[in-house]
Amino acid sequence: MSFSRTTGRPRQSSRAMLEEAASELFLEQTYAGTTIGDITRRAGVSRTTFFNYFATKSDLLWVDVDAGLAALPAALAQCDRAEPVTVAVRHALLTLAAGFGPGRVPWAVTQYEVMATEGELESSALARFLVVTGRVAEFVAARPGFAADRDLAGRAFSSAVVAAAAAAAAEWAAAGVHRGDLAPYVDLAISPVCSGFRPVLDPR
Amino acid sequence: MSFSRTTGRPRQSSRAMLEEAASELFLEQTYAGTTIGDITRRAGVSRTTFFNYFATKSDLLWVDVDAGLAALPAALAQCDRAEPVTVAVRHALLTLAAGFGPGRVPWAVTQYEVMATEGELESSALARFLVVTGRVAEFVAARPGFAADRDLAGRAFSSAVVAAAAAAAAEWAAAGVHRGDLAPYVDLAISPVCSGFRPVLDPR
DNA sequence: TGCTGTTTCTGTACCGAGTCCAGAAAGTCT
DNA sequence: AGACTTTCTGGACTCGGTACAGAAACAGCA
């Protein structure tokens, strides 16, 4: 938790600068059509510094999504420990989904429409999926009274529920300009998963 | 459905040649440690011809998986049309899983253990997931009596059930040398998903 | 004022995946 | 002998990502 460094050369650039330059270029040329060099040139920094702020070009597509997803641990942590696991996870995911509305549409969504067939997105998408799934699986496994012999069931539930949520997000994204809030989509998609796993995962 | 071409220069290479060369090198140097040039050099062809047979280096990791997955349309097609969708899909996936046993372990699995943290696999994995999910979703939507207003539920089910199956496959892969058949893993993982979606998707 | 340590920034060189393309090679069919 | 068709080859190229050495810009301290 280091705040602003007092020593060393002060930063002349920032994630925000690069994100902004990238946003402009994505609108003009699409994601696939702009190179990292284009972005840094517009931002007025060297190509190398880009990698001081982002590990990957595709990270730019997911900045908004990642920001929303960052709230997951907190949402999981503040769940009632008495609740069944499945409903706890459902609540956490719905809280997360509530962060996304018509006003906040990530690049990954808009560029999805443009890229269509391109598999550019796919590669980076699974990385997010796995992170989220992993967090949920940890949460499930850490629940009091969770038997180790149900490990597979726990992981299956985590994967299934996150995949359902992702499917909902995709549908929401595909809804175009008329999409409203994300939460109802997610609720409809994940509820059956939760109810299906409830007898398996919840001891009573 | 063109059989053997009668015209043009006959092929001097084949997918099998490249797969074999690649297999050897993966054992010696791991996947990440071998370049496409290494593979084609050993196979005795030029680097360019590689791309006549594979679109991507990572395709090599999935040859066995893809071969198994190719049976999905057939497995879905021969389902009893009277069955509820959810149990039909469950049967189809179990048939598919039956194709994988201890004797047939894809590269994607073995190299997974080696690569561990590396995200090499991730990128190519989602492509497969999406294909399978898409097929299942089509099947669900094409069922007689499937109302269009349940579109989201259908897609959510497809994603969730395939994700659960994938989680089972991952667990199976992680079981190492002692892994037996894949099917029981998959059954345990997808059954709750199917039972959860049954009241939503099946009209009666 | 200068020295030291720390951090950011830059330039360059490098690697490997994937694309493009012009042309050679090796057949079959008139 | 062409003409046609397909595979194969080699080279040049783009782009994402890595490695690294050194410059730039500060703070603190002598």
CATH number for B37:
1.10.10.60
- Range B85-103 average pLDDT: 92
Structure confidence by residue, pLDDT tens digits, A3-14: 567 788 999 989
**C-alpha Rg value of chain A to the nearest Å:** 20
What does the alpha-carbon distance between residue B179 and residue B101 come to, in Å, rounded to a whole number?
8
What does the alpha-carbon distance between residue A204 and residue A200 come to, in Å, rounded to a whole number?
10
- 8 Å CB contact between B61 and B32: no
Q: Which DSSP category does B148 fall into? A: G
Residue B119 has pLDDT above 80, yes or no: no
Looking at the structure, tell me whether residues A111 and A31 fall in a common domain: no
Residue A3 lies in a domain: no
What does the alpha-carbon distance between residue A130 and residue A191 come to, in Å, rounded to a whole number?
20
Kindly report the nearest CA distance between residue B12 and chain A, in angstroms: 31
Largest CA distance in chain B: 60
Looking at the structure, tell me whether residues A86 and A126 fall in a common domain: yes
Looking at the structure, tell me whether residues B120 and B21 fall in a common domain: no
Where on strand D do bases come within 7 A of a protein Cβ? 4-11, 14-20, 23-28
Residue span of the structural domain in which B20 resides: 15-54
Confidence of residue B2 (pLDDT cuts 50, 70, 90): very low
Looking at the structure, tell me whether residues B182 and B142 fall in a common domain: yes
Looking at the structure, tell me whether residues B78 and B30 fall in a common domain: no
Q: List the single residue in A with minimal CA-CA distance to B191.
A: A196
Looking at the structure, tell me whether residues B23 and B42 fall in a common domain: yes
Residue B4 lies in a domain: no
Looking at the structure, tell me whether residues B40 and B97 fall in a common domain: no
Identify which of A151, A171, A196 has the shortest CB distance to residue B196.
Answer: A196
**Average pLDDT of every residue of chain B:** 88
Name the residue closest to C18, CA to C1': B56
What's the total number of domains in chain A? 2
CATH number of the domain bearing residue A124: 1.10.357.10
Looking at the structure, tell me whether residues A89 and A168 fall in a common domain: yes
- Range A45-62 average pLDDT: 95
What does the alpha-carbon distance between residue A141 and residue A152 come to, in Å, rounded to a whole number?
10
Residue B37 has pLDDT above 90, yes or no: yes
